[in-house]
Amino acid sequence: MDYPRWREYLAFLKEHPYREQNGVPYIETGDGGGPPLLFLHGTLGAGDIWWQQIRVLAPAHRIVAPTYPRTEGLADLANRILGLMDALGIDRFIPIGTSMGGYLAQYLVAHHPERIAAAVFANTLPPYLSIRLRVWTRVLLYGLVPEERLFKQLRRFAENMVFLYEGANPFHRDYLLNALEKIDKATFLNRYRIMVTPFRVPEPEVPHLVIYSRGDQVIPRPIVERMLEAYPEAQKVELWGHFSYLSRPDKFTGALRWFFQNHVAALSPPSNT
């Protein structure tokens, strides 16, 4: 893996090494005057999966991007993340979550609204019972598959479906393949089970954005429609592909900047210029 974007990614990791607080690895950077951003990754990957958004947004925002530790469930993970933000002295923030991270972001909005300045739910699913049952079925099936076979299927998914459907750009394929080498089956299932935890769909009183995608190979279109129905007051942006923040980072980051500038601007301190 020796091509420009991969070298940029390695340079980012060198410039932004992970720290750890209470067993939670995280990247922290940025010192802008805008609301702090909390980036929440999906089932695969780590905090650095957001590197292309982080390097663009850091001049305007303080940014925290954790990698999830093994937890006892969604409430435990949320508490661990909030404990990290407390340790960093961050009270209110904007969670930006994709897939499983989007589910976690919804939970934070539902159970800790006092901490939320705005929210972004990307390529994720609402906590409806019928949808959670579908996820449970998948968890049970994954649990029955031997680890070697499961990860072979996931590698095939990254090499074929994701690569072909999301622009045939090698970076997102190679990132996901590399991420699969860093986790085991127990970690994968631990993260996947997060999305079967029940809670009431929040009614956010703060600005919130739903990013959804055509050609999403993970979130079927009927679930996308349910997600849009769950948040009728949300701003909405349509992109392409489940991993659009990797495969089309400029468009994903552009959607975030548009949301911040047009709907969260009142939360930011006035500019001195």
User: Residue ranges of the domains in the chain?
Assistant: 4-267
β-pairing, 24-29 vs 34-40, is unpaired
DSSP 71: -
158's tokens: 């990254």
Residue 266 pLDDT class (50, 70, 90 cuts): low
Q: For residues 32-43, b (16+ Cβ closer than 10 Å) or e, as one string? A: bebbbbbbbbbb
Mean pLDDT of 155-160: 89
160's tokens: 């074929």
Contacts of 173 (CB under 8 A, 6+ apart): 158, 159, 162, 163
Contact 27, 38 (CB under 8 A): no
Fold of 4-267: Rossmann fold (3.40.50)
What distance in Å separates the CA atoms of residue 228 and residue 11, rounded to the nearest whole number?
Answer: 37
Q: Is pLDDT above 90 for 207? A: yes
Q: Is pLDDT above 60 for 269? A: no
- Residue type (1 letter), 41: H
pLDDT single digits (tens) 173-204: 999 999 999 999 999 999 999 999 999 999 99
pLDDT single digits (tens) 7-52: 999 999 999 999 999 899 999 999 888 899 999 999 998 999 999 9
